[in-house]
Chain A
């Protein structure tokens, strides 16, 4: 198997696609028979089988093989899909996934034991095969294989020459020949080899008779010997060459009327093995062929680690570009300025290109979700129609990685907590079947993912009561909360309105985990709910995290970067308009009261600051007093987490052109 080691990555990647396709179409079949879906499953399982056989993963191949047999019967119309079979096949698909995980981790799938599933599928096959004329494709194989072992002699005519009784006149003046072709014993499809030989002979003349006949070969009755009488003026040698080929042990040709030798002489034509000519085959001129080959390669699969490495290099380039620019500015060298201008353009293009390469369509994670919805709905006894839209929207791979778990959690929640039981829905005058819709689209600089359900909506009273019960807030505080603020409680750590933790809705983790995960991606979560009508979760995500536009400001002498997309205004700090409200310092700006957030702890007293940067997160605004605004810049944000853990309010660090290390504010978590 080691010779195939190089193909492992490719195998796993494509097999996962096939696995996903199987599940997707199994779910389609749950809604009713669909020939296209059956065909798709058959194709995917067949491909998976062939590939695993090629890689030598016997367990996986065996499981796929028997699943293919099942779909063969379904495709023929011999048997029908049932919910039980659907569940069994889904379990088998899960097993396939486990095996692929094992293979990806370096194993060969043999540590997984699919016997239980194989046994169940066999039982199903036994129960369904007998009922109708069985799958046509299966039976001849069995007989052919039996024939190979010499178990059955099915040919109607024995291998002895039967040319005698046939008249030796072709009627058109061409000489008649008798040809005996013996197919190699190890050949698994003797009929087919015989058919090929017969076809090749036919191209040289007219076949007068053959034993077995074409029809008999088609039915699968060849024991390995084919006798042909042919009228041809091509000559013995040409006939011999035409009839020879792969897996043909011997070919004998005699003019009609003469007896064919009793047993075949040593193969007159080089057959299997490596004849001398092969050596020449192996020594071709490599040059032009390599060029031909290169021309045809249009897509490459690249290890993601390599891409990450390239991305790091691009980031370094961005940092050093800033540095060069600064030097050129300081020294005012005109020629250098121009050259840097060119470099800058190339670096921007390179950066954009790299960003695009790293983009993956959301379908990558969306495709798994219908299965999740189905499982949760089945477990809860609910009826759910799941609609997905915009799966082609692209996101950076790093964002995609972090999105999977929160999305999974929200979907489970939507079915588990959102959609009501069919009876409850009916009483409320809704269709028994609930709808969960997941959609994604690109909106200017963000990717927006929306998950809506037409369930019962979020019960705000219940949230408040629960929060009081859990000691998160007092009754007085609860009464003062707006609807939005109440819903926000859902995202508090340790909050869960589910009366009991089901093994579907997760491991007791609440929406706080979802919120934190999305924030870690520099994204936001917004919830809207209408009692009785349903809820909607909106995730706003940056398509990429690594490079952001920031405004560089100074507070006293220290620099800090603020992401441009959260800045809504830069204003004069009119200290006369500032007021103390409770513990908070606020300012009246354009008839709006905005809180002032001084970053004195980090940067020292901001007493002398005369500029206010107004930032916004969702609907909340606040303002930061700063000393100087230096300008706008594109920077690479390096996360802190690897070194000192996450700090609320700081999303990471960036290195500016002059080598200064500057913190980048995270407005989302700051407000």
Chain B
């Protein structure tokens, strides 16, 4: 049985990491909101709720360092504090989000997290500074706070108790500032409560945290009336003020500021102004929808979905086996009336299978919003660090994309956005001087384009100066001076993806872009996507990231070379032409072919196989790699098909030439070639090329 419980714990932790990631995302967003509207008490409360949930969840998993820190932050966050300290609070919240993130990362690796002491100091500094002026204004004997800020969970708990017919009273106690034995005070209050009825909630939750707070909140179920409770709770030298209220009554007492030392409010629900009721009932609605939401959404491990997808793949193979058997049956008993029945059943099965496959594929898709959401924070931080004023615009958030692609894109996109802000967008003064708005704009957009999704990252900054890029590339020896003249616009801009150009610091400031751009390109290549740039000096630039809808299925062109079946992604195919051996010329050790007014460099694919065959009539598949075109010589074209890609990941067979394999309807395995690797690898072996070409001619 212990085996089971261990399993449960790791499952619980997995769930925790999932939800914690989302909580931190929410915390980031709320922090940004807080920065915009520090006066809004509702925003502060939402931050508090998030922090509270994080605290509870992490405590449940035994991550005490995190939960303690969250607790500290939750305690510090009050609307009053936000009002008094403004943006400073938002900054602490955002840096807290970062520290929580680091701690989570550590926990995930089963490592000991950082103590977060820096954050603790920040929080304390925040609180103490607000309280200092307050002490001057207020009388030494503090008043009990008359508003109750229960978390969603606590509210539900209290409502639940109320529904069970209990009379729920919320009590707020102000601890006497002269009381030095806070922990004992806590225990005394608790004992008093227990005499009066059942303690439902008590904040702080333990005696140890009493040291840091001046107010005690509790909810008790009691049959005594409010006055009696207030009297009982007034413990001399410990509690200087008491406020008791029936749960559910709004904090209308704030309006009628009490002059008497002892304040006991006994307002019933009915006497409340209508507006108050409305505002109070809002969080309740929120609570109800929260409890309903989990029923319609499931968290599923991506591996489990992949397993289902694999099974669907096997079903499809099973179907084609069945089709084959039936066609054999037909040959034997062609006139059998069963024939029509079989055909019907097969047709039905095929339709359902196709639907099934589509549905499973859909499960893997998530809206790009998940990715875009992270950029609010990135833009803010980078803009702040670079002294820019930047606005983020999002469009097309509902576009669906495969989850794994989405996750892989996060890093390169962050890179592009960072570059756009630090190098693209000018400082506010420069912008005004150039007749632009003070605020620079970063725009993220996503849309479908055939079987691809295009994600645009654009800015309205200074753009990329093509001439400077080319000049630097020549200086760096990446291209020859002679070559530079022949570069097309696209080729020149693509130079920024060259690692030699991008790694040097001073070039980036001149050319505008470039730190680690080669990494961006590499990631997109790996995703079988592409990247294009559009830029105008002074107007800004746009990066177009084009990625396939899903990694699991691609449209591919299948062909045979030396009897072997291969496929290449259709996205890289430009056109297909027919040629004869006689039309192939040799230029500078390369085999080339004239295609209209272009010269194609050819790559012989049959060199992949051990023995090459002679065929006089050949097909040339024209593929584009970046701006350049190459011709792949193949023996026979087979056709176009949607292929479910499976990884060829065993170390014995993995090769950069093959990006994956797929299984066709009849069970045949087809290898999907990585066009770029094939061209660079087979195009390189020039000497062999001549020999084999010579033998062929």
Chains A and B form a bound pair: no
Could you tell me which A residues sit within 8 Å of B by CB distance? none
Could you tell me which B residues sit within 8 Å of A by CB distance? none
